């Protein structure tokens, strides 16, 4: 029996990556750095989950001579960059630069009315989640999502299943009663490692990823209903 839907955020609930890329570049400019992430580079960097982790990875590429890339000086610099990036992203979201993907809000509302549990399992920060959903759903967005697991609660990022395992524990449901929604290969690997059936809606940043093992790969969630999800879930369990 299908009892819960678990959503990733970036790329899944909303196609946020263009705004994230612009926010990173804004932070670099504010700090007077010569870094600039074009779309091709950013697409490759998305193989690393988590904004702070992405910055640390790129620092290692740009400064291979720095052996202790986790040292206090580097951490302080990257922490400041991430704070600037987060502020820039929040401003963009508040200005309406990002919206939910087609079909997402309708499915959330229908699932909520049908009594399904709704949860978020993401590697993004609580600030980013709140900015997006406050603007897209309203100040009472938490009435839909009783459980939110994010970068502040899951130390090990996707493709590790930590964030999904924690979400399942808080839901007090087995993976067999849930469906996850993702947009990337890392997300799919994390969800599958936690035993979850997973619906994928790629973006242009993740369209070339390997989605082998997904329950469905769809261009968007427009037209996806609770009844369809229940049917797919039942067919797979049969």
pLDDT in the model for residue 134:
93
Q: Give me the mean pLDDT over the 26-50 stretch.
A: 95
Q: What angle do CA 194, 46, 150 make, to 5 degrees?
A: 45
Q: Where are the domains of the chain?
A: 4-16+98-237, 17-94
pLDDT digits (tens, 9 = 90+) for 55-104: 999 998 988 876 665 566 788 889 999 999 999 999 999 998 999 999 99
* CATH number for region 4-16+98-237: 3.40.50.1000
Per-residue pLDDT at 155 exceeds 60: yes
**Chain-wide mean pLDDT for the chain?**
94
Percent of the chain with pLDDT over 90: 86
Those residues whose C-beta lies under 8 Å from the C-beta of residue 203, and which sit 6 or more positions away, are 11, 15, 17, 183
pLDDT in the model for residue 76:
87
pLDDT in the model for residue 238:
63
Does the 17-94 domain belong in CATH 1.10.150.120? Answer: no
Catalytic (active-site) positions: 8, 10
Per-residue pLDDT at 214 exceeds 60: yes
| CA 22 – CA 92 distance, rounded (Å) | 9
């Amino acid at each position: 029996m299908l009892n819960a839907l678990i959503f990733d955020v970036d790329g899944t609930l909303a196609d946020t990556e263009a705004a994230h890329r612009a926010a990173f570049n804004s932070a670099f400019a504010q700090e007077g750095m010569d870094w600039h992430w074009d779309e091709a580079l950013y697409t490759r960097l998305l193989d690393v989950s988590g904004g702070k982790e992405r910055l640390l990875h790129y620092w290692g590429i740009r400064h291979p001579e720095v052996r202790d890339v986790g040292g206090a000086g580097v951490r302080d610099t990257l922490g400041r960059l991430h704070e600037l990036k987060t502020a820039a992203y929040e401003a963009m979201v508040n200005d309406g630069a990002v919206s939910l993907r087609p079909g997402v809000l309708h499915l959330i509302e229908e699932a909520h009315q049908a009594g399904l549990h709704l949860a978020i399992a993401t590697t993004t920060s609580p600030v980013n989640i709140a900015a997006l959903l406050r603007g897209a759903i309203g100040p009472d967005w938490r009435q839909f999502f009783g459980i939110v697991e994010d970068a502040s609660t899951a130390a090990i990022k996707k493709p590790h299943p930590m964030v999904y395992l924690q979400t399942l524990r808080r839901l007090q449901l087995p993976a067999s009663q849930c469906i996850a929604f993702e947009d990337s290969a890392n997300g799919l690997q994390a969800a599958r490692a936690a035993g979850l059936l997973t619906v994928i809606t790629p973006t242009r940043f993740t369209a070339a990823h390997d989605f082998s093992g997904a329950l469905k790969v769809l261009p968007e969630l427009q037209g996806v209903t609770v009844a369809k999800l229940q049917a797919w879930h039942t067919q797979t369990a049969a």
